Amino acid sequence: MSTLGLLSSMTGFGRAAGEAEAATILVELRSVNARGLDIRTRPAPGFDWLDADIRRQIADALQRGTVQVYLSVQREGAASQIVVNHEALDAVLAAIDEISARTRVRKPAPEGILALKGVLETREMELTPDAEEALRGAVRRTVATALAALVAARREEGGRVGAVLVGQVAEIERLVALADVHPSRSREAIRARLAAQVAELGETGVGLSEERLAQEALLLATKADIREELDRFAAHIGAARALLTQGGPVGRKLDFLAQEFNREANTLCSKSNDVGLTAIGLDLKAVIDQLREQVQNLE
């Protein structure tokens, strides 16, 4: 077996802290399995303008996984201001007008309206362009550090998954070899089985010609032959090992091979007319299911 390539799991965690002028930054990244790359950000209030930068950095480093992003920015001694949320205020005023048109209820005083949740908001004072650019750079560096930790964690887990996959592919190869040399596939066993089946055809198929019996015998032999499945198994085993050696984001390709493995195992079981060979086919299906379950964790 060639050297195992650098594989990555889709599960991991990365955390980093950073500083900008009069600001403390905290970034946490968590990732779990997903069919594609799904980035979900939670920037600190008032810092949504950093969202696009964060998404670009993650998309450049990862290809698959659901990534949860937590960003906290604490500005030391930052002045705050109270502002009106005009969207919320317009909605409240519209509701008041609608109620007033239907009833004789007195309209609330302005202070009552302002006391409603969401109408007034406390926001930090806006940054100067230079301070904003400095903060953007500091956040980018902090995200890069957290992202490096996340990538390292995913690769560490990917190495463990890869080692398990190597063993499972080896077990599939062992079972395929057992199927290849199984006594039921020997010429003598096939000849005896065909003789018995042709005899049955002769007993039930009154009037069958010798030529027809020969055709039926050939059909039975063809249906019972698993040489094609064994050859495809060998090809898939080679492809799986090549991907594990290659490393990188090979999870989708390995998942496809797992489906192909399962298809061949199903065909082997359906063609088998021997209890021992069927048992090997069922063992193959069990190992393939385990392999596919592990593959779901890879990027």
User: Domain check: are 108 and 174 in the same one?
Assistant: no
Same domain, 114 and 229: no
Residues 84 and 31 in one domain: no
CATH code at 138?
3.30.230
Q: Let me know whether 149 and 16 are in one domain.
A: yes
Q: What percent of the chain has pLDDT over 70?
A: 81
At 210, the pLDDT band (50, 70, 90 cuts) reads low
* Residue 278 included in any domain: yes
Q: Is there a domain that residue 74 lies in?
A: yes
Q: What percent of the chain has pLDDT over 90?
A: 53
Number of domains in the chain: 3
Same domain assignment for residues 235 and 201: yes
Q: For 259-273, write each residue's pLDDT tens digit.
A: 999 999 999 998 887
Q: Please choose, from the candidates 31, 3, 36, 53, the residue with its C-alpha nearest in 3D space to the C-alpha of residue 249.
A: 36
Residue 222 counted as domain residue: yes
* Mean pLDDT, range 51-78, rounded to an integer: 90
Cα–Cα distance measured from residue 26 to residue 29, given in angstroms and rounded to the nearest whole number: 10
7 lies in some domain: no
pLDDT (0 to 100) of residue 267: 92
Query: Tens digits of per-residue pLDDT, 93-116?
Result: 888 887 877 787 777 787 777 777
Return the HEC string of the chain. Answer: CCCCCCCCECCEEEEEEEEECCEEEEEEEEEECCCCEEEEEECCCCCHHHHHHHHHHHHHHCCCEEEEEEEEEEECCCCEEEEECHHHHHHHHHHHHHHHHHCCCCCCCHHHHHCCCCCEEEEECCCCHHHHHHHHHHHHHHHHHHHHHHHHHHHHHHHHHHHHHHHHHHHHHHHHHHHHCCHHHCHHHHHHHHHHHHHHHHHHCCCCCHHHHHHHHHHHHHHHCCHHHHHHHHHHHHHHHHHHHHCCCCHHHHHHHHHHHHHHHHHHHHHCCCHHHHHHHHHHHHHHHHHHHHHCCEC
On whether both 172 and 232 belong to a single domain, the answer is yes
Residues 136 and 213 in one domain: no
Residues 131, 87 share a domain: no
Task: Check whether residue 223 and residue 91 sit in a common domain.
Answer: no
In a domain, 25, yes or no: yes
Per the structure, the complete domain to which residue 47 belongs is given by 12-78+125-155
pLDDT higher than threshold 80 for residue 70: yes
Residue 102's contacts (CB-CB under 8 Å, 6 or more residues apart) are none
Last residue of a domain, one of 108, 138, 155: 155
Which of 111, 140, 155 represents a domain boundary (last residue)? 155
Q: Is residue 103 part of a domain?
A: yes
Do 33 and 132 fall into the same domain? yes
CB 161 within 8 Å of CB 298: yes
Q: Are residues 35 and 139 in the same domain?
A: yes
CA distances from 283 to 139, 174, 228, 268, 290 (A): 52, 11, 19, 12, 11
8 A C-beta contact, residue 179 and residue 280: yes
Same domain for 145 and 259, yes or no, is: no
1 falls within a domain: no
